Amino acid sequence: MKDFLKSVLASAIGTFLAGVMTTFLVLTLFIALISLASNRPDKPAFTLKDNSLLVIGNGLVINDTPQYSAPSLESLISKDNTPEVDLLRAVESIRLAAQDRNICGILLAGKVSAGLTQLSDLRQALEAFKKSGKPVIAWIENASQSEYYLASVAQKIYGHPAGEVEFKGLQSYNAYFGDTLKSLGVGVQVTRVGKYKSAVEPFTENHMSEASREQTELLLSGAWKKILRDVSQSRNLAPEKLNRIVNAAGIFSSQEAVELKLVDGLLQRDELISKMHELGATPEEGKTTFRQVSLSKYSNKVSFTKSSNHIAVVYAEGEIVDGWGDPDQVGGDRLAHYLRDIRSNKQIKAVVLRINSPGGSAFASDIIAREILLLRKKGIPVVVSMGDVAASGGYYIAARGTKILANSSTITGSIGVFGLHFNFEELAKKINLGVDGSKTSRYADLLSSHRVATPDEIALVQKLVDRVYDDFVGIVAEGRSLERDKVHAIAQGRVWLGLNAKENGLVDSFGNLTDAIQLSQKLAKIDQAEIVQYPSLHEGRSNFLQKLLSDEEEEPFLFTSTATNNPAMQFIRAHWDRLKQIKSYNDPQGVYLTCPMQVGEK
């Protein structure tokens, strides 16, 4: 018994001491992390040596919005821990590299995750870079179509002998859950305006409607023509020949790519390194590599012109949601807050609103549109720059801009409205779940999820949807100086490419983000201006845990992919977007301005 008590006492003392030590270590780590977080610079300084190649690729992510927050759980699930640069800094980095004596050329190597319009902007910047006389070389191993599209701008494209090239055209498919939800007992009731408003179809149908098919084919065809035209000009191959190549296979071995003139030559990795030495890059590590700097690191050298006059570049990227929103969403309150700050800032002479959004909450869109109107009334020009998509709610917030610039392949329009009501009445019956209660008034339980909405309740919601649509048409008519009947004729929820949108008056001209900034400066009648971004780079990274999550990693070496091919994660990502879409349906009135269309691989 005595030994037993000794054992118990020793165990208790050991447990206590272990707890004390653990607590001490945790507190020490906590203090160290706070110290590290508070002292860590946003932009680590680096010295660029001469005869360096600027390397663009290795899984680089290009977003419109600067990195301004730590990665959320959603962003960790939906994309890998890859280097990221905002589009404006990426383009400015390439422009700076053309003048930088330490940069001897550019190597495109590996995937760049970006939308079609963003890749198009990068191609334009690279075309301008080539005028400096410095070479642009592309290296592809197993190239996706988007990777090849960017690589095709290079003066020379080299492929790995064991690799392949994908060039197969565009496609757009959706999963349709209509019958699935019915079989589960989940009811879906829809209110909408616009026969082309197809965002609700995945929840109500088991196939694509003819109206949706019509506009999808138009969008894919227009975007594909742009890709063919750009590759044709860069590779000196007729679009008709490229189309024949695509329809012959879609995926080509490296040798076939050379024979078809998609690629200029084949090199092993060591032979590519020797080729870079020949182009002037300083050999390093016993000539097994060459002096290089990644675009994500080089972008730290970008600094915008200092001036007392400011141009605010405001980003609206992601689904529009009510409230503040997550970093990958357009929070109506957050964006309205930025615009109010701008309106009270006497230094800001013009605004560029960069939109890359399919829309979302009707209420949040209206909150943002009001702030844009107030800017206009104060005499501050607002130039809208459209990215890959600025449709439905994305177009709602654009319509009041002084001028609207888009890419020819931008997805826009979708002037239509819908409401969704989910209920689990049949599901409750299947699992013998009872729901009971009482109410004081006829509509006290309006749109409750435990039952199907009655016809008169649906009629009430439809009346609300009709009013929002009428407001939408009115805002477009006013902002674009168009007759309401004409707006209604091109509305109906129909999605347009930028090319068609310019023809029907929804867009003023074609141009990229840089063009929009230059136009805003012209409209403000100022010779020089400093660019300020909303949100700004690294804004909101004050929390030490956030900084821990977003800590800088060592740069990946050339040939090292930062993306993963984990099939489990790919499966999760494939369905995560649909779950995110459902999560974003948080409009307080249950009414949405959303466009489901997307072209590209991002």
User: Active-site residue 392, yes or no?
Assistant: yes
Tokens 């209110």 -> residue: 191
> From the centroid of its chain, how far is CA 439?
45
**Distance between CA atoms of residues 53 and 298, nearest Å:** 11
Angle subtended by helix axes 210-235 and 239-248, to nearest 10: 110
User: Considering 69, 392, 414, 520, which one is annotated as catalytic?
Assistant: 392
Selection from 523, 533, 552, 591 nearest residue 197 by Cα: 591
Range 499-506, long-range pairs (CB < 8 A, 24+ positions): 499/222, 499/408, 499/409, 500/218, 500/222, 501/406, 501/410, 501/412, 501/413, 502/406, 505/480, 506/395, 506/404, 506/412, 506/413, 506/476, 506/480
- The C-alpha torsion from 47 through 48 and 50 to 54, rounded to 10°, is 170
User: Active-site residue 232, yes or no?
Assistant: no
Phi, psi (deg, nearest 5) at residue 212: -65, -40
**Distance between CA atoms of residues 194 and 472, nearest Å:** 12
CB 478 within 8 A of CB 373: no
> From the centroid of its chain, how far is CA 590?
25
Q: Which stretches does DSSP call E strand in 114-155?
A: 136-143
Q: In 235-271, which positions are buried (b, 16+ CB within 10 angstroms) versus exposed (e)?
A: bebebeebeebbeeeeebebebbbebebbbebbeeee
CB 160 within 8 A of CB 254: yes
| Polymer length of the chain | 602
Percent of residues in the chain assigned helix, strand, coil, to nearest 5: 45, 20, 35
Q: Cis link prior to 135 (omega < 30° from 0)? A: no
**Distance between CA atoms of residues 523 and 561, nearest Å:** 44
CA angle 219, 221, 224 (to 5 degrees): 105
**Distance between CA atoms of residues 304 and 514, nearest Å:** 13
CB 62 within 8 A of CB 93: no
Q: Which stretches does DSSP call E strand in 282-347?
A: 283-284, 289-290, 292-294, 310-317, 319-321, 329-331
**Distance between CA atoms of residues 514 and 512, nearest Å:** 6
- The C-alpha torsion from 214 through 219 and 222 to 228, rounded to 10°, is -120
Element (H, E) at 417: strand 417-423
User: Considering 79, 111, 134, 197, which one is annotated as catalytic?
Assistant: 197
Phi, psi (deg, nearest 5) at residue 118: -65, -40
**Distance between CA atoms of residues 501 and 216, nearest Å:** 15
Q: Please list the active-site residues.
A: 197, 392
